[in-house]
Structure 1
């Protein structure tokens, strides 16, 4: 993918202007971090990994991995490919903090400040990174489903890419809940990613109504996730619903 100029069309045919990209990046930053610099380095209560950058990209430590997509190392490689100098402790490394308590205690450490400065200084590139993930998502999704389902998913995807709001919806949700193609991201065999939402989304949606229809479908999918979860995830649903309201 090329750098976002005044108006770029990506390899997947997604046309996005620098103004749109900046606006979307800011919204994702608000959704994930409250739009704060401190929020760029987070470790949520009850989780066993750090959540970093505007997209709260996951970074696992060496003692415990998980089923979710580990996106922070991929972001680091992307930044390096763009000529960004990154701290040695983040390149090809596991998260140096092994517990949330350790992470919080290190809030004002030199490593944490260096990490926070890196993330604050690369917000536009992080937006590009999320767009790159979206570009690559459609072929992955289509290859994971039957011929019968492909037409509807393809149609709904491109209805959303036709508007600035729709592009925000797709970029935010893929960052929020993933593509939906990983077998490890399932409860009782049911996923909650972008693919699952596009599959159940109203196929009669218009370009104008598509963002709202996506939000309605996403709410159903996330409620299903909570019902199927092996542990109680009900505490998250209100926040998820509030986030989906920004898609309307």
Structure 2
């Protein structure tokens, strides 16, 4: 990070929108990630070792568990608590506490408990703060992407990021995509040497004006995701997910 800032002293990625705009971004992420349902705010998918909570399905690992994905729910709670929001009893011990349910079976059994209902209500009441957290995380992604990009690509990546982050509608596309497919900076997230995160989408954009920025982003994202499926190991059968991914990306052109 320090090296990136030294290379790019003019980085300015502060994203500021009205509360209403931030809330609308949060509601659209909620729709894409959870189908806009309250029950979708508390999920634990089959075959996974963690709960997925909130509009961004932020990961929360039980005690002693870790995996390849970054744990983000404790960071979200820490962020929300600094904003003065009242935390549910379940989260009062510490922002770093592990997920209290040790398995998906335990989690599903607790679906209608007072603790789970209180947690869901808390997540409904803090849609705006969760969106602020996602935007803050997006701001932090730019230096990492510039650090990972080749020197020849850095100016264009920054230009495309700034082009897309100037309005709430365009910023939603960045927020949702990075939450959905990552920043594109991890070398572990590559097939045949090619990534599929936000960095790779921005690298393939070359427009210079605000006009058509979202449509160009959508085209670039669809091409990036299609390439991922093409490059994926055949045994993963990733083509089964592509139509859903494309629908999600197409949603960036509306609203």
Q: 1:42 to 1:186 in 2, by over 3 A?
A: same
Q: 1:138 to 1:84 in 2, by over 3 A?
A: same
Q: Is the 8 A contact 1:205 1:213 kept in 2?
A: no
Aligned to 1:214: 217
1:187-229 deviation line (CA, Å, top 9, x unaligned): 343322111110122x035312111111111112222223344
Q: Which runs of 5+ in 2 are unaligned?
A: 1-11
Aligned equivalent of 2:110, options 106, 111, 120: 106
Residue 149 of structure 1: how far off its partner (Å) = 0.6
Q: Is the 8 A contact 2:101 2:107 kept in 1?
A: yes
1:226 partnered with 2:229? yes
Q: Is the 8 A contact 2:22 2:168 kept in 1?
A: no
1:5-53 deviation line (CA, Å, top 9, x unaligned): xxxxxx6243422222121111111111111111110122343321110
CA distance in 1, matches of 2:189, 2:118: 32
Partner secondary structure for residue 58 of structure 1:
strand
| Matched ranges for 1:26-175 at <5 A | 26-86=27-87, 87-88=91-92, 91-175=95-179
How big is the alpha-carbon RMSD for the aligned residues of Structure 1 and Structure 2? 2.0
Partner secondary structure for residue 51 of structure 1:
strand
CA distance in 2, matches of 1:35, 1:175: 16
TM-score, scaled to structure 2: 0.84
Q: Which runs of 5+ in 1 are unaligned?
A: 1-10
* Worse overlay, 231-240 or 150-159: 231-240
Partner secondary structure for residue 106 of structure 2:
helix
Residue 132 of structure 1: how far off its partner (Å) = 0.5
User: How many aligned positions are there?
Assistant: 237
* Worse overlay, 115-124 or 148-157: 115-124
Aligned to 1:19: 20
Q: Is the 8 A contact 1:63 1:98 kept in 2?
A: no
